[in-house]
Structure 1
Amino acid sequence: MTDVIFNKEEDVISPVNYAMDGPLCFYDVLADYFVQVPESGKPVLDMIVQLWSQSFASHIFSLLFHKWMFEVHLDNPEVLLRYSSALVQGATNVFWIDIQTNTRRFQSIFRYLLDDVALDHTRLNKIPLQAQRDMYLLLSRFILFYNSAGKVDSFLKQCPVFQTAFLVGGPADIFVNELTDQLQKLKVEPVLLHYLSEIKVLQGTTSTIQVWN
Structure 2
Amino acid sequence: MIRVLLADDESLIRAGIAAILSSDPGITVVAEASDGHGAADLAARERPDVALLDIQMPGADGFTALDLVRGASPSTAVAMLTTFGRDDYVARALDGGANGFLLKAAPPRELLTGVRAVAGGGAFLSPKVTGRVVAGFRARREFDREGGDGRLASLSPRELQVLGLLGAGATNAEIARGLHLAEDTVKTHVSAVFTRLGVRNRVQAAIIAHDAGLTGG
- TM tier relative to shorter chain: 0.3 to 0.5
TM-score, length-scaled by structure 1: 0.32
In proportion to residue count, which structure has more helix? 1
